[in-house]
């Protein structure tokens, strides 16, 4: 589940990094997302895996995630929520098997609707707001040209992390990608 906000005005903003990572995965697999009114989301499937970009606003992400989870009988422990994190430097990845929402309203909504905090997640660092910029302006702002090279490589690594979690489980992905972050300094 890639988290973001719907609409052109939010495309390519920091808050929509979850959508960007799922778009990278769809491109790799040669699949396309289709809008689904039933799920209030854009969905794509490949090899038994369902990829979802909720069409609701970030704070309401739990509704479509819960609906899809219940319909396909996917336990919370097999869902991977992918979203932005201002507490991490740009491009830093942090995978966890569960835990609190950590102040992220999209994850909070998912936890509330699924009734458990044991939802695996991939946090993608978008960096903190600098100077006088508000947090809202920062997360709803677009990445700069100077950030583009780090962003592109980090999105590829995040897609790799999702694929590792799919193939070997969240612990395998955590071991591979959380360790890689330490090696990057």
d(CA 71, CA 153): 35
Does the active-site annotation cover 104?
no
> Quick check: 117 and 111 in contact, CB under 8 A?
yes
Tell which residue, 162, 129, 147, has the closest CA to residue 12: 147
Question: CB under 8 Å to 45, separation ≥6 — which residues?
Answer: 31, 51
Phi, then psi, of 105 in degrees rounded to 5: -65, -30
d(CA 127, CA 88): 5
Phi, then psi, of 116 in degrees rounded to 5: -155, 150
> Quick check: 44 and 26 in contact, CB under 8 A?
yes
15, 104, 113, 138: the active-site residue: 15
Residues recognised as catalytic: 15
């Amino acid at each position: 589940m890639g988290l973001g906000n719907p609409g052109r005005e939010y495309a390519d903003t920091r808050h929509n990094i979850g959508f960007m990572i799922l778009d990278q995965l769809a491109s790799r697999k040669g699949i396309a997302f289709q809008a689904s009114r039933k799920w209030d989301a854009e969905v794509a499937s490949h090899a038994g895996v369902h990829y979802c970009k909720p069409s609701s606003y970030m704070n309401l992400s739990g509704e479509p995630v819960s609906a899809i989870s219940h319909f396909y009988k996917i336990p919370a422990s097999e869902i991977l929520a992918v979203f932005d994190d201002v507490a991490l430097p740009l491009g830093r990845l942090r995978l966890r098997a569960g835990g609190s929402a950590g102040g992220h309203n999209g994850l909070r909504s998912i936890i509330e609707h699924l009734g458990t905090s044991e939802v695996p997640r991939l946090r993608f660092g978008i960096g903190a707001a600098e100077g006088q910029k508000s947090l809202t302006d920062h997360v709803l702002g677009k990445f700069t040209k100077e950030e583009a090279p780090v962003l592109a490589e980090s999105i590829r690594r995040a897609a790799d992390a999702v694929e590792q979690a799919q193939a070997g489980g969240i612990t395998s992905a955590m071991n591979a990608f959380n360790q890689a972050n330490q090696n990057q300094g």
